């Protein structure tokens, strides 16, 4: 057994399809982020400031509560000033890849820590096609639950 760090987070907002840029539709995902504490805090580790993401994704007219696969969250405060999210999910055998980033600004911490801009690509054969853009927000009403999840996320696995 080793010490772990983790938290629970929900990001929700809208996406706009490349085919219909005037139509905003609901987009949300909920994740549990976990990482071995020893690797997470070690700057010499390949897993420095990296957590694994498990959870579900919902996109209106595309999917409802589908499991996230290959989820990763990278915290890069020093080099890129960002929190980078990426994960995949499958709809009717087609793979969708999400990439999103919170661009951190110490002068606007609340806005930048709660706003996630992203995009989704879909794999069609051997090529990838831009499917949509998204903007998600962390609901500050969930802040106490989010902070409590950090306390629960510190433990042994």
Q: Is the pTM of this model over 0.85?
A: yes
Q: Reply yes or no on domain 3-156 having CATH 2.40.128.
A: yes
Q: What is the per-residue pLDDT across 92-151, written as a single tens digit (0 to 9) for each? A: 999 999 999 999 988 998 888 899 999 999 998 889 999 999 999 999 999 889 888 877
Q: Cα 7 from chain centroid?
A: 12
Domain chopping of the chain, boundaries: 3-156
CA distances from 13 to 20, 38, 52, 97, 109 (A): 17, 34, 22, 17, 19
Q: What is the per-residue pLDDT across 18-65, written as a single tens digit (0 to 9) for each? A: 888 789 999 999 999 999 999 999 999 899 999 999 999 999 999 999
Bridge partners, residue 83, by sequence? 75, 102
């Amino acid at each position: 057994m080793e010490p772990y760090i983790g938290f629970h987070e929900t990001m929700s907002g809208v996406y706009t399809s490349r085919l219909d840029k005037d139509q905003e539709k609901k987009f949300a995902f909920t994740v549990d982020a976990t990482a071995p504490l020893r690797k997470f805090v070690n700057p010499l580790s390949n897993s420095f400031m990296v957590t694994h993401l498990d959870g579900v994704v919902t996109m209106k007219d595309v999917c409802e509560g589908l499991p996230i696969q290959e989820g990763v969250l990278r915290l890069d405060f020093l080099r890129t000033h960002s929190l980078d999210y990426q994960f995949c999910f499958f709809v009717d055998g087609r793979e969708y890849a999400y990439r999103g980033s919170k661009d951190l600004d110490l002068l606007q911490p609340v806005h930048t820590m709660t706003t996630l801009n992203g995009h989704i690509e879909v794999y069609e054969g051997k090529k990838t096609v831009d499917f949509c853009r998204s903007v998600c927000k962390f609901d500050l009403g969930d802040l106490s639950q989010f902070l409590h999840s950090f306390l629960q996320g510190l433990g042994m696995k």
